[in-house]
């Protein structure tokens, strides 16, 4: 996955045309990770508000027994948020993960407040339209960041036809994340390979 994610689409078409479809769907897990992280984080904030209400408005000692249910739920959702975010950063670029996560978190917080805390009655149509317009602007900003990051990766060209095969192998290994593995292996048909064959025949 790291190799496909790091290589530009042009290089994948040249190396493995069958992997083009896989490259297209490679970011689907990232969207799942950040969406789940935003959802669990919003639930954590909701649970913290519930705990605050219990501590503030409890009238009977038995009311505090609800803490035994909500505190483990809060700890679980908070831990899952960290896990999902770390998975996203581990397998994908942080510049792509965090903007999507922050936008999802904002939207999930608003939705949780509207649906679970009945905050919808405080919103006017103008406020709701402003939220929708802000979401569109966030999506446009994320798209711009993704295009810039894609252009940065595409700027790393892999010249497989170059006679300086060591330089090409170093660039390939840097993109693929396996630097230092095959740097000294010449490609078949290159100038270095022909020189080695000439030396072997001379011996």
One-character DSSP codes across 155-183 = TS---TT-S-HHHHHHHHHHHHT-TTSST
The residue behind tokens 């909701």 is 46
Q: Would you give the distance in Å from CA 68 to the centre of its chain?
A: 34
- Rg (C-alpha) for the chain, rounded Å, is 26
Q: Which residues contact 51 (CB under 8 A, 6 or more apart)?
A: 67, 70, 71, 74
Predicted structure pTM score: 0.64
* Three-state SS at 59: coil
* Residue 38: per-residue pLDDT: 92
The residue behind tokens 């979401």 is 135
Q: Is the dihedral of CA 167, 171, 172, 176 positive or negative?
A: positive
* Residue 77: per-residue pLDDT: 93
Domain spans of the chain, in order of start: 2-156, 160-203
What gap in Å lies between CA 71 and CA 75, rounded to an integer? 6
Q: Would you give the distance in Å from CA 85 to the centre of its chain?
A: 8
Alpha helices in the chain (DSSP H): 2-6, 9-15, 20-24, 28-57, 67-91, 94-116, 125-154, 165-176, 191-202
pLDDT in tens, the chain (203 residues): 666 666 666 777 777 777 777 767 778 888 888 999 999 999 999 999 999 989 888 888 888 898 999 999 999 999 999 999 998 888 888 888 888 898 899 888 888 888 888 888 888 888 889 888 988 998 898 888 877 776 666 565 444 434 444 444 444 454 444 444 444 444 444 444 454 455 455 55
* Residue 78: per-residue pLDDT: 92
* Residue 73: per-residue pLDDT: 93
What gap in Å lies between CA 146 and CA 154, rounded to an integer? 12
Q: Which residues contact 188 (CB under 8 A, 6 or more apart)?
A: none
What gap in Å lies between CA 149 and CA 27, rounded to an integer? 14
């Amino acid at each position: 996955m790291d190799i496909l994610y790091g290589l530009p689409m042009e290089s994948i078409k040249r190396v493995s045309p069958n992997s083009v479809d896989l490259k297209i769907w490679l970011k689907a897990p990232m969207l799942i990770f950040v969406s789940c992280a935003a959802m669990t984080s919003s639930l954590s904030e909701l649970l913290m508000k519930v705990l605050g209400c219990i501590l503030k408005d409890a009238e009977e000692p038995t009311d505090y027994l609800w803490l035994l249910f909500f505190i483990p739920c809060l700890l679980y959702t908070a831990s899952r948020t960290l896990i999902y975010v770390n998975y996203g950063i581990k397998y994908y670029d942080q510049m792509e993960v965090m903007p999507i996560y922050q936008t999802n978190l904002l939207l999930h917080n608003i939705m949780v407040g509207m649906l679970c805390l009945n905050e919808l009655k405080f919103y006017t149509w103008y406020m709701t339209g402003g939220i929708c317009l802000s979401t569109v602007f966030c999506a446009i900003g994320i798209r711009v960041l993704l295009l810039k990051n894609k252009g940065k990766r595409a700027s790393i060209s892999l010249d497989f036809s170059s006679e300086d095969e060591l330089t090409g192998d170093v660039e390939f290994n840097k993109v693929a994340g396996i630097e230092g593995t095959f740097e000294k292996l010449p490609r078949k048909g290159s100038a270095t390979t022909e020189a080695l064959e000439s030396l072997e025949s001379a011996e």
